[in-house]
C-alpha cells in the first residue's frame, strides 16, 4: 500500500510544481485510486501487483468511502456558510437611475404623474426614497409589491423565514415554486421582475436590537409588517432613535389596523399606544386564530399608500391616528392617538426635535 501512497504524493508534488489547480490534483489522485481498485477487481488473487498494493480491494474501498464522506461534509459546510453569508451581504440590485425619467418610466408612472397631489415632483421623491420593510409575509407582501410598482427607488426587506405552503393563502408575493426559498429573496425576485427601475436589498435575518439602529440609518422610512411584539418594539425604538417615520400594520382574523408612528413630527410612537405586550393568549397569532386571505392585502396596500403619502408629502398621513378596518362587517373607523408623556422610548416627543414638514 505504501507504493500507492508514494505515487499519490508524487502526483501531488508534480502537480504543484506545474501549477495545476487543487481540484485537478485531487482528480489525478482519484484516478490513481480508481485504477488500484479496478486492478484488484480484475487481476487474480496471487498476482504480484495485488500483493504489492495490499492484496485486497476492501481497504481501498473503505478509504474511498471515508474520503467521500469527508468531501460531502465539507460541501455541506460550504453551502451552509454561503447561506449564512447571504444574510450578511444582501444581494443588491443595480441602483435606480438618477436625473431625468426615461420615456419608459414616464409611461410606467403616468397615472401617478397626472395626480395633482403627486405629479412629477412626487414621483421623483418616490424614486429617491429608501424604504425598509420588516417582514415579507401577509402585510409585507402587498406593501412590497405596491411600493415596487409605485417606483420607490430603493426597497429593503428583512425576514428570516422561508416560504411555506401555508403562507400562500395570503402572502401573494410568493409562488408555489418558491416554497423552501427565503422569503426576502423570493420577494426581491418578484419586485425585480415587476420593476427593473428600482434597487432591492434583501436581508435574510431576524431584526434584532443589535442591528436595528445601523440598518434603519440607511433608510428614510420603515414599514413594520411583523407578527410579534418583540420585533415591533425593537423597530419602534430604532425608528425613534433615527427620527424616521414607522408605518405599522397589524391584523387578526377579520380585522386590521394601520397607523404612522412619528414622534419627530408630533405623533406618538408605537409604545405610547401599546405600552406593553398583551398577556400570552390575548393576541393569538394568525396560525392560532386564523386570518381572512384578502385582509392582509387590504391592510398591506393601505400601508403602501401611507408610505407614498409620507414620501411625497401628499394629503394627510395617519400620523396620530389609527385606521381600523373590519372586513367581516365592512366597517372602517379612525381613532385619534396621543403621545404619552411617560413613554420610555420617546417621552411623548418632548426630547425629540419637531420637524414642521410632512416629508420624512
Cα distance between residue 97 and residue 227, in whole Å: 34
How far apart, in Å, are the Cα atoms of 236 and each of 210, 240, 295? 14, 6, 24
Instruction: pLDDT tens for the chain, 360 residues: list them.
Output: 677 677 777 776 776 676 656 667 777 778 877 877 777 777 777 777 767 777 777 776 787 788 788 777 777 666 665 455 444 444 555 555 567 899 999 999 999 999 999 999 999 999 999 999 999 999 999 999 999 999 999 999 999 999 999 999 999 999 999 999 999 999 999 999 999 999 999 999 999 999 999 999 999 999 999 988 999 999 999 999 999 999 999 998 999 999 999 999 999 999 999 998 877 766 666 666 788 999 999 999 999 999 999 999 999 999 999 999 999 999 999 999 999 999 999 987 655 555 544 445
CATH homologous superfamily for the domain 94-349:
NAD(P)-binding Rossmann-like Domain (3.40.50.720)
Q: For residue 249, which of 308, 174, 306 has the smallest C-alpha distance?
A: 306
Tens of pLDDT along 336-353? 999 999 999 998 765 555
Inter-residue contact 157 to 200 (CB < 8 Å):
yes
Would you state the torsion angle of the CA atoms of residues 10, 11, 17, 19, taken in this order, to the nearest 10 degrees?
Answer: -160
Cβ contacts of 294 within 8 Å, gap of 6 or more: 170, 327
- Count CB neighbours of 28 within 10 A: 16
Q: Where are the beta strands (DSSP E) in 187-298?
A: 199-203, 221-224, 246-252, 255-261
- Count CB neighbours of 352 within 10 A: 19
Cα distance between residue 235 and residue 17, in whole Å: 57
Portions of the chain given CATH number 3.40.50.720: 94-349
Cell of 137: 409575509
Q: What is the sign of the dihedral through the CA atoms of 159, 162, 163 and 164?
A: negative
Inter-residue contact 158 to 203 (CB < 8 Å):
yes
- Count CB neighbours of 222 within 10 A: 28
For residues 122-149, one letter each, b for 16 or more C-beta atoms within 10 angstroms of the residue's C-beta and e for the rest, the string is bbbbbbebbbbbbbbbbbbbbbbbbbbb
Cβ contacts of 182 within 8 Å, gap of 6 or more: 86, 159, 160, 161, 162, 163, 202, 204
Tens of pLDDT along 252-292? 899 999 999 999 999 999 999 999 887 776 666 666 678 89
Cα distance between residue 304 and residue 300, in whole Å: 6
Identify the burial level of 158 via C-beta atoms within 10 angstroms of its C-beta, where 0-12 means exposed, 13-18 middle and 19 or more buried: buried
Q: What pLDDT was estimated at residue 349?
A: 66
Amino acid at each position: 500500500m505504501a507504493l500507492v501512497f508514494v505515487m499519490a504524493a508524487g502526483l501531488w508534488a508534480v502537480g504543484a510544481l506545474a501549477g495545476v489547480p487543487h481540484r485537478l490534483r485531487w482528480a489525478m489522485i482519484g484516478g490513481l485510486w480508481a485504477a488500484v481498485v479496478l486492478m484488484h477487481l480484475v487481476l487474480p488473487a496471487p498476482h504480484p501487483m495485488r500483493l504489492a498494493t495490499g492484496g485486497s480491494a476492501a481497504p481501498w474501498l473503505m478509504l474511498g468511502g471515508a474520503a467521500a464522506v469527508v468531501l460531502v461534509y465539507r460541501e455541506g459546510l460550504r453551502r451552509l456558510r454561503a447561506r449564512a453569508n447571504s444574510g450578511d451581504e444582501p444581494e443588491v440590485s443595480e441602483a435606480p437611475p438618477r436625473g431625468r425619467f426615461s420615456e419608459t418610466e414616464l409611461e410606467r408612472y403616468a397615472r401617478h404623474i397626472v395626480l395633482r397631489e403627486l405629479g412629477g415632483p412626487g414621483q421623483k421623491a418616490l424614486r429617491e426614497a429608501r424604504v425598509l420593510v420588516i417582514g415579507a409575509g401577509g402585510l409585507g407582501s402587498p406593501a412590497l409589491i405596491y411600493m415596487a410598482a409605485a417606483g420607490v427607488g430603493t426597497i429593503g426587506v428583512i425576514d428570516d423565514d422561508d416560504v411555506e405552503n401555508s403562507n400562500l393563502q395570503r402572502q401573494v408575493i410568493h409562488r408555489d415554486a418558491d416554497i423552501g426559498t427565503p422569503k426576502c429573496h423570493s420577494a426581491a425576485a418578484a419586485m425585480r421582475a415587476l420593476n427593473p427601475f428600482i434597487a432591492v436589498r434583501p436581508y435574510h435575518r431576524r431584526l434584532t436590537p443589535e442591528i436595528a439602529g445601523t440598518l434603519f440609518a440607511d433608510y428614510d422610512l420603515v414599514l413594520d409588517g411583523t407578527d410579534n411584539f418583540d420585533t415591533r418594539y425593537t423597530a419602534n425604538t430604532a425608528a425613534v432613535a433615527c427620527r424616521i417615520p414607522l408605518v405599522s400594520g397589524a391584523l387578526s382574523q377579520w380585522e386590521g389596523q394601520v397607523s404612522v408612528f412619528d414622534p419627530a413630527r408630533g405623533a406618538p410612537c408605537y409604545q405610547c399606544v401599546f405600552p406593553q405586550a398583551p398577556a400570552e393568549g390575548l393576541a393569538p397569532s394568525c396560525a392560532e386564530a386564523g386570518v381572512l386571505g384578502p385582509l392582509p392585502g387590504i391592510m398591506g396596500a393601505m400601508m403602501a399608500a401611507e408610505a407614498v403619502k409620507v414620501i411625497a408629502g401628499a394629503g394627510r398621513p395617519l400620523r396620530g391616528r389609527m385606521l381600523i378596518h373590519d372586513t367581516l362587517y365592512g366597517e372602517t373607523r379612525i381613532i385619534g392617538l396621543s403621545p404619552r408623556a411617560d413613554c420610555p422610548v420617546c417621552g411623548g416627543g418632548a426630547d425629540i426635535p419637531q420637524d414642521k414638514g410632512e416629508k420624512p
